[in-house]
């Protein structure tokens, strides 16, 4: 799992503790294979199409993730469910209300009223943002800054229930699967699927009685996390709505071979299943082909595995070799979570050859803390990996959690010394304090050490509670900010729901509106505005360009490139020459679109 242990599938999410990657960066993104796809509302998404008349079964899959407002990512889990249900003949619609609607509640009401689904699936990717300290100073939010998202999701569920009271509600997703019975009770939902839901959802759409479907859990039962499904399906059919502004997730395996004390994956007891290599590579190949058809030269991929190189590196080496053998190495850039061991020179060379970024889930450099956190490596493995990555020129970033069990002033100092000795090219993101999630080993430690806890008075740990040693999270954050003040490659973790920029979700809504020009300049200024410390202005503007290009809005892309050129610095490895050429190209395509539109109007 990512080192900030957010409840959510590890794709993404990831994303909370790392510096964001620059995803619009290759010369191909601005100068190669620019096409002008037809731009109509219906072309945007398979899931936007109305239910076919007389269809036997209708299902509405809702991406119940308020964090989409801050960090938009594809609804990958729901895309996989819809793909699995294709053979049943069911009409399945995906709705992402927090991304594509100003008013999420009204959006779900309208969709449910129109579709009248038999089943409503709630995809709960995360239950909070896991940002323990957004601001080291006291800011009126209490001792921690974690934003609890389930209250918003509960309002969404209530609104849907009012519109389609006869529908069966089923909850699922990575966040839900970490604490299923607690979520069912909190959200007033009767059924849930724990873990991979493809087979379960296909059985629901085929009309099988819910009581007879393995993998479903019911509210009030003893079964919960022990019902976890480790099933791997074939290539995912992606929704055309999502641009790769925050990468395309691809799962190559499910489960985890570790049992880190704070991590929700510890509940799996080291169970894991590898995906079929051919299916994984086919999904990547399809994703690259589709993205290139929309003008994206180098496609960003996130391997959404808990750890890409566990339980051994054979599978990851096979995946990367497959990229090379299929001629995909120059067409992708990718990122994945790695354990410090095993990691051979062969794997390092393949990572470099295929444009990979190694995100190392370290947590601490102190032996005492590593042992208490149940990490399957020690300091020597970490030092060896840093030397290996440096030798082979592999890009890397590193995640730390200060304040875990066993942490003392001495171990904090030890990890600070380790960070200060790192090569400056390695970016480091750190958190202070660890979110305590239900059923994890850390939850059992927390019950024995209540003096180390801050946050909600919730004995179940569903609401945000944080463990922090040897002092409170804010105090620890202030100490670390001072210790790392002179290191530009080191920063506190992630993007907060409260303070993160909403520029990219606003970009989506503007691009998809009938008159996308209205408000576009304001979106670009919001993207360029200082404040989002995890995404520089140039990176945010480049992401806006990509969203516009993805949806064929070359008029807006041209404006966005012009605004990007006004920045003092442009994201590497872009050049101003490439951006000027892109500005001309997008402007020309926009003129061609307007001319074609005028001809069509004259014919009418």
Q: Where in the chain is the domain with CATH 3.40.50.2300?
A: 45-227
Exposure of 52 in the CB half-sphere (CA atoms within 13 A): 9
Residues 6+ apart with CB under 8 A from 511: 547, 548, 551, 553, 556
For residue 394, the model assigns a pLDDT of: 97
Structure tokens at 256: 């985890």
Tell me, what's the pLDDT at 34?
Answer: 36
Q: How many residues in the chain? A: 604
Q: Can you state the angle between helices 314-325 and 277-292, rounded to 10 degrees?
A: 40
Confidence of residue 33 (pLDDT cuts 50, 70, 90): very low
Calpha distance 401→416 (Å, rounded) = 12
pLDDT, position 183 = 96
Q: Where are the alpha helices (DSSP H) in 173-266?
A: 174-178, 180-187, 198-205
Examine the pLDDT at 38 and tell me if it is beyond 80. no
Helices (H), 76-124: 76-84, 97-100, 104-115
Task: Give the three-class secondary structure for 436.
Answer: coil
Rounded to an integer, what is the distance from CA 443 to the centroid of its chain? 25
Question: Which residue intervals of the chain bear CATH 3.20.20.70?
Answer: 248-492
% of the chain beyond a pLDDT of 90? 71
pLDDT in tens, 161-178: 999 999 999 999 999 999
pTM for this predicted structure: 0.88
- Give mean pLDDT, residues 512-517: 81
pLDDT confidence tier of residue 529, bands split at 50, 70 and 90: confident
DSSP of 544-596: HHHHHHHTT-HHHHHHHHHHHHTSSS--TT--HHHHHHHHHHHHHHHHHHHHH
Q: Pick from 38-42, 131-135, 307-311, 391-395 the range whose average pLDDT is largest.
A: 391-395
pLDDT level of residue 215 (50, 70, 90 thresholds): confident
9 confidence band (pLDDT: 50, 70, 90) = very low
Mean pLDDT lowest for which of 44-53, 189-198, 407-416, 521-530? 44-53
CATH architecture for the domain at 45-227: 3-Layer(aba) Sandwich (3.40)
Structure tokens at 517: 């020009």
Query: Span 585-596, mean pLDDT?
Result: 90
For position 8, what pLDDT does the model report? Answer: 35
Question: Which residues face 7 on adjacent strands?
Answer: none
Give me the pLDDT at residue 533, please: 52
Instruction: Quote the pLDDT of residue 55.
Output: 54
17 pLDDT band, cuts 50/70/90, is: very low
Q: Which residues pair with 255 in a beta bridge?
A: 272
Options 3.40.50.970, 3.60.15.10, 3.20.20.70, 3.30.70.100; CATH of 248-492: 3.20.20.70
pLDDT for position 31: 34
What is the reported pLDDT for 250?
95
Backbone torsions φ then ψ of 395, nearest 5 degrees:
-70, 140
CB atoms within 10 A of CB 275: 21
Give me the pLDDT at residue 269, please.
Answer: 62
| Mean per-residue pLDDT over the chain, rounded | 87
What tokens were used for 317?
């080496």
- CA dihedral over 572, 577, 580, 586, signed as positive or negative: negative
Average pLDDT over residues 55-65: 92
């Amino acid at each position: 799992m990512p080192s900030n242990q957010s409840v959510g599938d590890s794709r993404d999410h990831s994303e909370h503790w790392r510096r964001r990657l620059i995803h619009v960066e290759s010369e191909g993104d601005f100068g190669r294979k620019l096409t002008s796809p037809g731009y109509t509302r219906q072309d945007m998404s398979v899931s936007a199409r109305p239910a076919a008349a007389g269809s036997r079964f209708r299902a509405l899959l809702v991406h119940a993730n308020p964090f989409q407002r801050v960090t938009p990512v594809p609804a990958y889990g729901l895309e996989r469910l819809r793909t699995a249900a294709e053979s049943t003949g069911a009409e399945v619609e995906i709705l992402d209300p927090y991304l594509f609607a100003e008013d999420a509640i009204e959006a779900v009401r309208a969709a449910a009223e129109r579709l009248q689904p038999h089943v409503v699936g709630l995809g709960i990717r995360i239950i909070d943002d896991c940002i323990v300290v957004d601001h080291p100073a006291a800011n009126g939010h209490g001792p921690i800054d974690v934003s609890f998202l389930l209250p918003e999701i509960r309002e969404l569920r209530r609104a849907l229930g009012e519109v389609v009271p006869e529908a069966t509600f089923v909850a699922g997703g990575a966040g839900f699967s970490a604490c299923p019975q607690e979520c069912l009770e909190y959200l007033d939902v009767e059924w849930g699927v724990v873990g991979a839901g493809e087979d379960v959802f296909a059985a629901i759409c085929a009309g099988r009685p819910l009581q007879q479907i393995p993998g479903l859990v019911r509210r009030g039962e003893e079964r919960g996390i022990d019902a976890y499904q480790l099933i791997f399906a074939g290539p995912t059919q992606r929704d055309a709505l999502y641009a790769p502004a925050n990468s395309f997730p691809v799962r190559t395996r499910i489960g985890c071979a570790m049992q880190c004390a704070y991590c929700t994956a510890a509940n799996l007891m080291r169970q894991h299943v590898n995906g079929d290599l051919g299916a994984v590579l086919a999904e990547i190949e399809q994703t690259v082909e589709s993205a290139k058809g929309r003008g994206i030269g180098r496609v960003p991929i996130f391997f959404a595995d808990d750890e890409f190189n566990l339980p051994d590196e054979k599978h990851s080496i096979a995946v990367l070799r497959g990229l090379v053998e299929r001629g995909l190495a120059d067409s992708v850039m990718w990122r994945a979570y790695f354990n410090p061991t095993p990691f051979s020179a062969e794997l390092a060379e393949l990572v470099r050859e295929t444009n990979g970024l190694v995100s190392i889930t370290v947590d601490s450099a102190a032996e005492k803390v590593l042992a208490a956190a149940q990490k399957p490596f020690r300091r020597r493995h970490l030092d060896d990996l840093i030397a290996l990555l440096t030798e082979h020129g592999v890009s890397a970033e590193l995640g730390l959690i200060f304040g875990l069990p066993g942490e003392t002033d001495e171990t904090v100092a030890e990890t600070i010394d380790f960070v200060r000795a790192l090569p400056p090219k390695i970016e480091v993101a750190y958190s202070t304090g660890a979110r305590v999630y239900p059923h994890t080993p850390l939850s059992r430690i927390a019950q024995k050490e209540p003096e180390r806890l801050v946050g909600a008075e919730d004995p179940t740990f569903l609401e945000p509670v944080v463990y922090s040693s040897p002092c409170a999270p804010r105090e620890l954050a202030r100490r670390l900010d001072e210790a790392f003040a002179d290191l530009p490659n080191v920063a506190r973790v992630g993007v907060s729901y409260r303070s993160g920029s909403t520029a990219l979700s606003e970009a989506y809504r503007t691009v998809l509106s009938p008159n996308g020009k209205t408000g576009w300049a304001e979106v670009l200024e919001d993207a360029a505005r200082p404040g989002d410390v995890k995404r520089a202005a140039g990176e945010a503007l480049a992401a806006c360009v990509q969203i516009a290009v993805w949806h064929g809005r070359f008029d807006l892309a041209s404006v966005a490139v012009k605004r990007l050129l006004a920045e003092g610095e442009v994201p590497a490895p872009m050049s101003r020459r490439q951006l000027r050429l892109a500005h001309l190209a997008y402007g020309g395509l926009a003129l061609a679109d307007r001319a074609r539109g005028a001809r069509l109007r004259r014919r009418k």
